[in-house]
Chain A
């Protein structure tokens, strides 16, 4: 009995210790990420002075994500249209489907799903690219050439992500609304005028659309920074880079969902 007891305590202690170690590791990484963020802001001047560097990254993060964003948005909009109609018509208010589709997209799904897709499409690419640059000593080489890798590599990617995200989110919302329209009006037969007029009467430019843009901006900062940090912090091995890429997706997704709750609770307060 005594032995079982002591084994239990020993195991518990080990568990606590490893938990504590992991928490300290997390906090350490958080601090390092914050430092990278501040350095990125400080050294951003150069990436603005030579804007073609940022333009190039907008091409890789933004333009290359267009297809996945537009296709997903269309399907999400269509599903919203179908599900919304299915529920609303029970209450005899199928005309409100436009409102439902537009508000869900503009307030939540647009910014959030875009950020999740962005993390999967562009975030992983950023992490893998920077991790590989580190593994193959390209960052080291840059430093030895007296070129600051944060100014030359990190900052342009950061601003490209921050600029691309709201654009992608706006596109997502707009295409999603069109998808919902396609299902509701030609397919189901909801009145065309009612669809748009109800939507316009209930979607506020400041409360809904502007807040959606603010959300996507915040998500843009978070997702891009996480991807950059994971790449920068990856152990310089093939395994390290692959794990960092996975972490980018996991951490970005959780951060986006958590931030969404926080931002929404700020925005909903009247």
Chain B
């Protein structure tokens, strides 16, 4: 048993010759909250899919609990996934099931627990996210923040060792953001799990993360504790952390010279 529950080694991944990730190395120690940060479209979510075994790496490997994910057969991957929970960006609640049934879903599908016990467990999980009273509502009746909390309760329904969060703070009001922020940290510590957060919200992520990886242009450009990164002088990290408009990541999408384009238009 290694101290790292997830290890990413020399990982490259791309579609049709265009590499999205180049030689990525990351480790996720047990019991820690590790964040992967980067701009939109930098392939952060794809990293989570690679860990979950939904896609196969082009080169390198991802090891979960010492097992190489892409070498597992279907049953092996499913076995690994049973130890993972994932919170999707928009919650991905099953819209045809009630809040209660959503949280009960993984228990009913993956365990043989009696319905009485499932009921107790579901209410326990919902209580942890403060939504026990909303258990008979349908997902469409929930606000964005509430839906995210229900999805969180569902992600931890069968007490996973690894909890993955895909943009947990995106599109939330400040209050809900604070609630989710607290929940991620407290659930991680209560379950003794490892959390992997993919996000671009600097303030909240730095608040709860133990370690942060920065991803840009398919490579890990910086890593360290939030405190280290705040002090970082690397131009990209500085721009990202402080939210500056222009820097190594240009404001303009690559284009021909503005003047030339205007001229071309008038001359035509």
Contacts and interface: CB of A to CB of B under 8 A. Distances in A.
Interface of A: 129, 132-133, 136-138, 140-141, 143-148, 152
B95 A141 contact: no
B186 interface: no
Contact of A144 (B79, B81, B89, B93): B81
A47 B74 CA distance: 19
Interface stretch (B15-23, B103-111, B207-215, B220-228): B103-111
A144 B109 CA distance: 13
Contacts of B95: 132-133, 136, 138
A140 B81 contact: no
Contacts, number: 49
Given A140-B54, A141-B86, A147 B106 contact: yes
A145 B88 contact: no
B109 A137 contact: no
- Classify the interface of chain A: helix, strand, loop or mixed: helix
Given A137-B90, A140-B88, 12 more contacts: A133-B94, A137-B92, A138-B94, A140-B54, A144-B54, A145-B81, A146-B77, A146-B81, A147-B105, A147-B106, A148-B78, A152-B109
Interface of B: 52, 54, 77-79, 81-82, 84, 86, 88-90, 92-96, 105-106, 109-110
Contact of A147 (B84, B93, B109): B109
Q: Which 5 pairs show the lowest CB-CB distances between chains A and B?
A: A141-B92, A146-B81, A137-B92, A146-B78, A144-B86
A138 B92 CA distance: 5
A153 to B, nearest CB: 10
Contacts of B109: 145-147, 152
Contacts of B90: 136-137
Nearest to B88: A137
A146 to B, nearest CB: 4
A143 B78 CA distance: 8
B179 to A, nearest CB: 21
Contacts of B81: 143-146
A169 to B, nearest CB: 27
A144 B110 contact: no
A90 to B, nearest CB: 55
A110 B140 CA distance: 39
B138 to A, nearest CB: 14
Contact of B54 (A132, A133, A143, A152): A143
A126 to B, nearest CB: 12
A146 B89 contact: no
Contacts of A148: 78
Given A146-B78, A146-B81, A140 B110 contact: no
Contacts of B105: 145, 147
Contacts of A138: 92-95
22 contacts: A129-B96, A132-B95, A136-B90, A136-B92, A137-B89, A137-B90, A138-B93, A138-B94, A140-B92, A141-B88, A143-B52, A143-B81, A144-B81, A144-B86, A145-B86, A145-B105, A145-B109, A145-B110, A146-B77, A146-B78, A146-B79, A148-B78
